[in-house]
Each structure stands twice: as C-alpha cells, then as structure tokens.
Amino acid sequence: MRAGERATSADDTLVRAGRALRLVLLTALALLFLVPFYLLVRNGLASEQDITSPEWTFLPTEVRWSNVAELFRDGSVPFARSLLNSALIAVATTLGTVLLASLAGYGLARIPYRHADKVFHGVLGTLMVPAAVTFVPSFVLVSSLGWISTLRGLVVPTLFSAFACFVFRQYFLGFPRELEDAAAVDGLGYWRTYWLVVVPNARPVFAAVGAIVLIGAWNSFLWPLVIGQDRSAWTVQVALSSFTTSQVVRLHELFVAAAVSILPLLVLFLGFQRWIAAGVERSGID
C-alpha cells in the first residue's frame, strides 16, 4: 500500500517536472520561431548604418517609419504596382477557384450522372501530377496563347484546383440531405438549391478553402516569375526577389518592403486562423 503511494507521488513529481520542462522548451522554441519576424521589423525600421553596424543592437538606434514612405517613393522598383498586381491576382484567383471548384464539387457529389465516376477520376489524376512536371508545358501553352505578362496569364491557368474540388466534393457528400429535400419540395431546381440553400449553410468550407487559396496565390513565386516577365506584371514576390538577387541592395528598403508584403497576410492569418487551420487539416488528410 505504502509502496504504491510512494510510486504515485514520485510519478506526480515526474509529471510536474515534465510539465515545467515542456513549458520551458515550448517558450524557447516559440522565441526562436519569432526571430525572423523580429529581424524583419528591426531591419525594416532601421537606417542602413544600423543594419550594417558591426555592433549588434537589439533595436535600431532610431526607429525610422520614413523607410515606408521612402520605399514607395523609390522609382527604381515598381513596388506599389506589384502590390496592386498581387492583390488583384490573389482576389481573382481565390474567387475564381472557389466558385469553379465548389460548383464542380457539388455536381460530383450530388447530381446523378452515368459517367460522374470517370470525371471524378480524371480530376483526381491531376493531383498526382506535380507542378514540376507541368510548369514547362504550361508556360509553353500560355506563351502560345499570347498571355505572357498579362493578368490573364497569371490568373486563368491557376484557377482549376483539383485539390479544392476534391475538398468541396467530400464536404458536400456529408452535407445533410434534408435541407436539399426541403428545397426540392419547395420546387427549387439544382441551381437555386445550390445558391439559396447549400452555399449559405456551407460557409466554413468556403472560408477554409478560400483562405488556403488566398495565401497560396499571394505567396506564389515560380509561376509569376515565369509569366510576369515585364515589370508592369510583377507580383510583390517577384519584386522582392528582384531586390534580393540584384547587384546593389538597399537593405533597409528591402526589409521594409518584405514587412509591407507580409502585413496583409499576417492580419488575415491572425483573424482567420481557425479557418486556415481547418483548411490545412483538410489538405493533409485528403
């Protein structure tokens, strides 16, 4: 009896020590994970001298908000234009992808059709094709359409996401049929049932897929690099990359540009984290 008690209390100490250790480890890792964000802000608000000073200062000696204004005044890099391009592309890609994929997902899940399985397998098959394989031929196709350096060329080829379609189909398969049956009783066809009954009750999946697509579109690099060749068609990632890989680098401007580019996503991320996490979960399991 006594031996058992002693074991329990020893276990308790062990558990408590484990808990403390876990918290210390987590805190250390969290701080480490925040270092890159810290560097972004520190360097973005510092002067060139502060950044390149051999003596490390944890904060700039003088916080220079004027770096932001300087960035937008600098005519050598079309940064404002690239932000606008990225915003247009991200919004158009997200709306288009969600619209096309959700309609297709609903059709595949709910409208009886003899060859629906074959169509679905055709969609799934493209999931097995990595972008590494299609980016060269896609470039070939887009250039022969004359879409190089156009918004069309940057957006349209990316609108057909098999992954998004798959997520919507799986979601609609589990959607409660009663709601659609009631709509049918009211005499609604597929189209109006979809828009009036299904969409308003499926907001979580739209938010999850939309958030993932939006992040991907804003951060995407290879496709805009290949297609957006003219400066007027640069996205913000391509503009940043041209800074990083160029000969003359103005560090404070580079960092403030990166900070500005990441700001909209961080706001979105913190506001919609639940949806984004839900989107990630779907993307991994399926």
222 binds other proteins (CB under 8 A): yes
Number of residues that bind other proteins (CB under 8 A): 100
122 binds other proteins (CB under 8 A): yes
Amino acid residing at 263: L
197 binds other proteins (CB under 8 A): no
151 binds other proteins (CB under 8 A): no
136 binds other proteins (CB under 8 A): yes
* 14-22 CB contacts, 8 Å cutoff, 24+ apart: none
**Under rule CB under 8 A, which residues in 47-106 are in contact with other proteins?**
51-54, 56, 100-101, 103-104, 106
* Residues 49, 34 contacting (CB under 8 angstroms): no
**Cβ of residue 203: shortest distance to other proteins, in angstroms?**
19
**Under rule CB under 8 A, which residues in 5-44 are in contact with other proteins?**
11, 14-15, 18-19, 22-23, 25-26, 29-30, 33-37, 39-40, 43
Nearer of residues 11 and 230 to other proteins, judged by Cβ: 11
Single out the residue of 258, 225, 253 nearest to residue 240, CA to CA.
258
**Cβ of residue 61: shortest distance to other proteins, in angstroms?**
14
| Residues whose CB is less than 8 angstroms from the CB of residue 238 and which lie 6 or more positions away in sequence, other chains included | 82, 221, 224, 225, 228
Instruction: Report how far residue 285's alpha carbon sits from residue 166's, in angstroms, rounded to the nearest whole number.
Output: 12
Among the listed residues 1, 3, 128, 185, the single contact to other proteins using CB under 8 A: 128
Residue 277 exposure: Cα atoms within 13 Å on the Cβ side: 5
**Under rule CB under 8 A, which residues in 240-259 are in contact with other proteins?**
240-241, 243-247, 249, 251, 254-255, 258
150 binds other proteins (CB under 8 A): no
Residue 233: C-alpha distances to residues 54, 88, 92, 96, 240 (Å): 38, 11, 15, 20, 13
